[in-house]
Chains A and B, each alone.
Chain A
């Protein structure tokens, strides 16, 4: 079993906050395929379309038949630990600060042998379950877990480097007024977050779920309006240095495309909240979070954007909302690049129509707040970068991968049918 994580002590104000160091981040283009798979928590290897061989490490050509027709395949993530060692010292600053560090090689049941970081509870020569995760440099790395799990498994220090587990971390949920704030706060409380700050815009008008929100353990409601720069700056001044996970659930949505609106008033609100709101938050909270990427058990770990999957392909019935989310998606990529030096993960959680007033006339399936909250917390525990919640989002991203233009034509046709 793993020693359970202890609640971090209060910070010693005389100690300098450790500057985040990163593991080596250089990879070939072929090897980036591991990061692509890890972003969604998939265990994949390169497979040859010509001879069928699976290979590791990734290369530009098949090591069996030299074909360049290689495709990434989901592979059964089981195998056996065939060699292992514990690194006691290293020339890499990142590993030097984190030794002892266990590594090994695993013979996969699917064939190839792979290099992996090894969980402390894996016995020598034991059967293992592998996961593919992003390391602090954002590169895909394999990690070997005990096949049946173990007590306090998630608390393993090496595994915790690969995740953004909310346990003992302090969370900011940016919009209390959003109907999903209660489910999100509950999910973080259940996951062991120590403080759950929830930003409340416009405290001068009531909303129905405030009492339910305030009743959740460890919730602190604080004034925050992502459309108001001063409000964002003020809150970041107060709690920016102890925000370990930021979940931006602020959202402005109205149905309608371009011509059936006839003005840009709601569009401005959508861009103010969904795009510039993200930017204001990132300008205020991004720097302190990036500086605290290696600040112990409750280091800054992740930034979560909740986006519409129609960021990928415009849904004309919510055309301007889709456009604002496309802009937010693009900003999130910029944010990933800017957060990278701190090793702070940017998790995008994509959802289709959600169970709320603005999607009320749409038929199911719709994403319930509880399902969204579960996905956010699960994505953090797994250290993911992209999560698709619900059937609509999963289906849409699959179709997008098959062909963005094809999907665009389908969206236009669906809008025509709806009329």
Chain B
């Protein structure tokens, strides 16, 4: 056993102790998988994202006397979910671009949270711009390479029709501009980008060039997306670590998942 191993074993032991004592808080960033949780809506001639559904197989009854279980059905992109590079046409040739191929160490990493909630409260089409990112860095330091960046909008607190905020010209919800995503991907080298809205892109993201810039640029560069996140207001701007492990779906382009964050406590 060498020195590094001893050190990491100590680290893990300390971490387990800190979680047990509550000095590292574990925050659930996931919405409940609920039949009535909104999914992305595309023009109806296109295929649609399946809603979450549950059928009872038995419930301690004649169908199975001592056990209760359900069959569930859903889309890879239903509820709080992970987007793999192969989700988008720009990422279709990325090596290891499916959820089952992504190295598992990619699923645990540091996270920067950019608070756009004040802006999103004023403007439902609020844009995350390079200026906002650079401003954030003035207060919190440069975004480290290979970290997750989450856009906090408090959108997760919206319910019902206010969540998709669909109108005759499509949904209205905040998201990043193409330049903001380019800055994060090409200059900062982030691992992935996450939002509280139904997609990583703004509701009106189809009108940017390229359309759906977060999807196009992130996945084209082999980066990941997280969407429909919850409780981002409970994360510090820096210093937290998230665990986001999609299901190991063969050739899967994404997956519903439980995202948790390890957050340093006040004593830290």
> Interface readout for A200-240 with B: 1 if CB under 8 Å, 0 if not?
00111110000000000000000101011111000000000
Report Cα–Cα, A205/B167, bound state, in Å.
9
Report Cα–Cα, A203/B51, bound state, in Å.
13
Q: Residue B35 contacts which of A205, A230, A265, A269 (CB distance < 8 angstroms)?
A: A230
A263 CB within 8 Å of chain B: yes
Q: Given A265-B47, A266-B47 in contact, is the A205-B38 Cβ separation under 8 Å?
A: yes
A416 to chain B, nearest CB (A): 24
Report Cα–Cα, A395/B163, bound state, in Å.
47
A204 and B54: CB pair below 8 A?
no
Tally of A interface residues using CB under 8 Å: 18
> Interface readout for A322-353 with B: 1 if CB under 8 Å, 0 if not?
00000000000000000000000000000000
Most B CB contacts (10 A, CB to CB) among A204, A205, A227 go to: A204
Q: Given A204-B161, A204-B163, A229-B55 in contact, is the A263-B35 Cβ separation under 8 Å?
A: no
Report Cα–Cα, A263/B166, bound state, in Å.
28
B160 and A227: CB pair below 8 A?
no
Closest chain B residue to A269, Cβ basis: B48
Q: Residue A206 contacts which of B44, B51, B54, B166 (CB distance < 8 angstroms)?
A: B166
Report Cα–Cα, A213/B148, bound state, in Å.
46
Report Cα–Cα, A357/B167, bound state, in Å.
19
> Interface readout for B51-87 with A: 1 if CB under 8 Å, 0 if not?
1011110000000000000000000000000000000
Report Cα–Cα, A228/B54, bound state, in Å.
8
A40 to chain B, nearest CB (A): 35
A99 to chain B, nearest CB (A): 42
> Interface readout for B160-189 with A: 1 if CB under 8 Å, 0 if not?
110110110000000000000000000000
Report Cα–Cα, A229/B160, bound state, in Å.
20
A229 and B56: CB pair below 8 A?
yes
Tally of B interface residues using CB under 8 Å: 19
B164 and A204: CB pair below 8 A?
yes
Q: Residue A205 contacts which of B45, B55, B164 (CB distance < 8 angstroms)?
A: B164
Q: Given A228-B35, A229-B54 in contact, is the A205-B41 Cβ separation under 8 Å?
A: yes
B36 CB within 8 Å of chain A: yes
B41: A residues at CB distance < 8 A: 205
A227 and B36: CB pair below 8 A?
no
B45: A residues at CB distance < 8 A: 254
Report Cα–Cα, A230/B35, bound state, in Å.
9
Q: Residue B51 contacts which of A227, A229, A263, A357 (CB distance < 8 angstroms)?
A: A227
Closest chain B residue to A272, Cβ basis: B53
B38 and A204: CB pair below 8 A?
yes
Q: Given A204-B161, A205-B38, A205-B41 in contact, is the A263-B47 Cβ separation under 8 Å?
A: yes
A285 to chain B, nearest CB (A): 18
Known: A202-B38, A231-B35, A263-B47. 8 other contacts (CB 8 A): A203-B160, A204-B36, A204-B160, A228-B35, A229-B54, A229-B55, A230-B35, A266-B47
**Interface set of B (CB-CB < 8 Å, partner A):** 35-36, 38, 41, 44-45, 47-48, 51, 53-56, 160-161, 163-164, 166-167
Ordered nearest first, which 5 A-B pairs have the shortest CB separation?
A: A204-B38, A228-B35, A265-B47, A204-B160, A205-B166
27 intermolecular pairs with C-beta atoms under 8 Å apart: A202-B38, A202-B51, A203-B160, A203-B161, A204-B36, A204-B161, A204-B163, A205-B38, A205-B164, A205-B166, A206-B166, A206-B167, A223-B36, A225-B35, A227-B51, A227-B53, A228-B35, A228-B53, A229-B53, A229-B54, A229-B55, A230-B54, A231-B36, A265-B48, A266-B47, A269-B48, A357-B44
